[in-house]
Structure 1
């Protein structure tokens, strides 16, 4: 089993190992039709390219706008997203970056979520958001592993 997500400074980091090809992992991270099987209930992008916008929705939590910042197929995928349900990205957004690396017969997936230090609302709010998202990445990346390892 993989380590839990960690908070270091104002970032949340977690690496999980998946016994699956980089191509399969990439598809799960970047194709909305596969993303919904582990991350969100509805995922929409206008395109898979930097600057494209969209949203990730959870039935129980609402819709979170995103803007794609980085697309390197098979290697890395980044986006800004709102930390709270919203119509558009604002000062409450943070940055998420997934990177992939070959590891034995499978793939290591690392997520780094950053930008919490610039959130409005002061230290307590930022700490709460860090902790909520740390727990979130534990749940979501475990679901990714389960999906890809069947």
Structure 2
């Protein structure tokens, strides 16, 4: 199945992507929320020691630093949302965006959607940030699908 790349919506200042994953929602959920599995597809370091709404952690990317993360929504295995900010700064509305994953069962597979919003509130060019993150979500979710479907086992 050919997966479509992430798209930018310049009116709502969002980046979104939906992929079909040949893995159960439970497996996809684990890959989104467990430190040891997150790094199999997303960045080089993940720490989510307090998996609850309001819980904080970090995601690290080689060459970009460690980004603070705060969990905003958690409804296992349906919705996982976090706000992530700028390395070495506390999370604020002008330096963070909201990433919201939704999982829908499709037999033994999962339809996974991500929407990242809040680019219009950033204290920098929202179009540059959306373009960069569009590329990022295209690549990262391709890695997630490959990992969960066995190409990375």
1:139 and 2:143 are equivalent in the alignment: no
Q: Offset at 1:120? A: 1.5
Please show how residues 95-114 of structure 1 align to structure 2 within 5 Å: 95-114=98-117
Match of 1:22 in 2: 25
Gap regions ≥5 residues in structure 1: none
> Normalization by structure 2: what TM-score?
0.91
Aligned partner of residue 53 in structure 2, secondary structure: coil
Match of 1:4 in 2: 5
Query: Deviating runs (4+, > 4 A) in structure 1?
Result: none
Q: Offset at 1:104? A: 4.0
Aligned partner of residue 138 in structure 1, secondary structure: helix
Q: Distance in 1 between matches of 2:76 and 2:26?
A: 9
- Aligned residues of 2:34 and 2:48 also touching (Cα < 8 A): no
Aligned partner of residue 80 in structure 1, secondary structure: strand
- Cα deviations across residues 13-41 of structure 1 (Å, max 9, x unaligned)? 10000001111000001111100100111
1:115 and 2:80 are equivalent in the alignment: no
Q: Distance in 2 between matches of 1:145 and 1:66?
A: 23
Q: Offset at 1:108? A: 0.6
Please show how residues 72-87 of structure 1 align to structure 2 within 5 Å: 72-82=75-85, 84-87=86-89
- Cα deviations across residues 50-82 of structure 1 (Å, max 9, x unaligned)? 001110001221110010001111111000001
Q: Offset at 1:94? A: 0.3
Q: Distance in 2 between matches of 1:50 and 1:140?
A: 24
> Normalization by structure 1: what TM-score?
0.93
Q: Distance in 1 between matches of 2:138 and 2:88?
A: 24
